[in-house]
Amino acid sequence: MSSGTVASSSHNGHGQINPMKDVKVAQDCGVAGSSSKLDNVIRKDENFKKFDIVEDISDHQYATKDMIYVRVYESRMDLLRAVIKGAEGTPYHDGLFFFDVFLPSNYPHVPPGLILNAKPYFNEPGYESTSGSVSGEKHSLRYNEQTLVLSLKTMSYTLRRPPKHFEDLVIDHFRDRAHAILMTCKACCKNGGFGRAVGKGKGKGKAKRKKELARARRFKSDVEQCMDMLAYQFEQLGVKGMEEYKSIGDGVSLSRKVRAFFCICVCT
């Protein structure tokens, strides 16, 4: 049987919740040799906590990265708001993804889950088995392109309306990552797709090649509009050197830029 724990928490200068410390739990590791020991193991399994606070984070994927931030509400402990920074090497890279979470009365019997990885297409039901196949990888690339465009659009929306209690994080994040985000956009426009270049297509039929080029042109146009809108927004944050990323002339009003930018979702 495990003993109870006493926990405490603190916040750093950025408002990030630091891991809580708990008292080590004494455990009996005996598994075999007598029925009493087996019963003890069964009792431990039955009493294993659905939710607990731990100290050792050495094997956690995000242990060394400040990628997740959470705010809880003192008057409503069943509500929380979290933001996840998109991981490098994925179509979510440098994006900020906010989640308003409601914890029902039966939580944590059914805990929530979320995955932001390099190939999110294969997270969709029924598509995992196509991983590694020519068709599966082709669809995965197209999925990543769509995800990237939506991620860029989300960045712009977040800049215009940063969620309450996260305003400083939004500003600091995009000031720091502005050039990296726009350089990714330029690379995608140059390559004609996310994570690859459009080659000459040896062995492809003329119709397939034409379709691929049309897709690449559409993707480039969408990303250029995103890049242009974000460059103006980053400039408003005080980021220098945004001129090289602007594709629409200075004579175009900001309202027209916004309409052109958000038309992407309607047309996609």
pLDDT of residue 107: 81
User: Which amino acid, one-letter code, is at 184?
Assistant: T
Token duo for residue 157 = 């929306």
Burial of 108 (0-12, 13-18, 19+ CB in 10 A): exposed
pTM score > 0.85 for this model?
no
> Which pLDDT value is given to residue 241?
93
Q: Residues 7, 21: contact at Cβ < 8 Å? A: yes
Closest listed residue to residue 61, CA positions, set 21, 18, 109, 116: 116
Looking at residue 55, the DSSP 8-state letter turns out to be S
Evaluated on CA atoms 134, 139, 144, 145, the torsion sign reads: positive
Residue 151 has a pLDDT of 94
> Is the bond preceding residue 104 a cis peptide, omega within 30 degrees?
no
Rg (the chain; Cα; Å): 24
pLDDT in tens, the chain (268 residues): 444 443 444 444 444 444 444 444 444 444 445 566 556 655 655 666 666 677 776 666 555 566 788 898 889 888 888 898 888 888 888 999 998 888 888 887 766 576 678 888 898 888 989 999 999 998 999 999 999 999 999 999 999 999 888 899 999 999 999 999 999 999 988 876 665 544 444 556 788 888 888 888 899 999 999 999 999 999 999 999 999 888 654 444 555 555 555 554 445 4
Give me the pLDDT at residue 16, please.
Answer: 45
- Which letter does DSSP use for residue 122 in this model? G
**So what's the pLDDT on residue 231?**
95
88's tokens: 């490098």
Long-range pairs of 67-72 with CB within 8 A, sequence gap ≥ 24? 69/14, 69/15, 69/16, 69/17, 69/166, 69/169, 70/17, 71/15, 71/165, 71/166
Tens of pLDDT, residue by residue over 195-251, are 554 444 455 678 888 888 888 889 999 999 999 999 999 999 999 999 988 865 444
**Order of strands, edge to edge, in the sheet holding 96-102?**
68-73, 76-85, 96-102
Q: 250: which 2 tokens?
A: 């200075």
Q: What is the DSSP string of 128-151?
A: GGGTTSHHHHHHHHHHHHHHHHHH
What's the rounded Cα separation, in Å, for the pair 263 and 268?
8
pLDDT for 30 equals 43
The confidence score (pLDDT) of residue 101 equals 85
Rounded CA-CA distance 190/184 in Å is: 10
pLDDT value of residue 161: 92
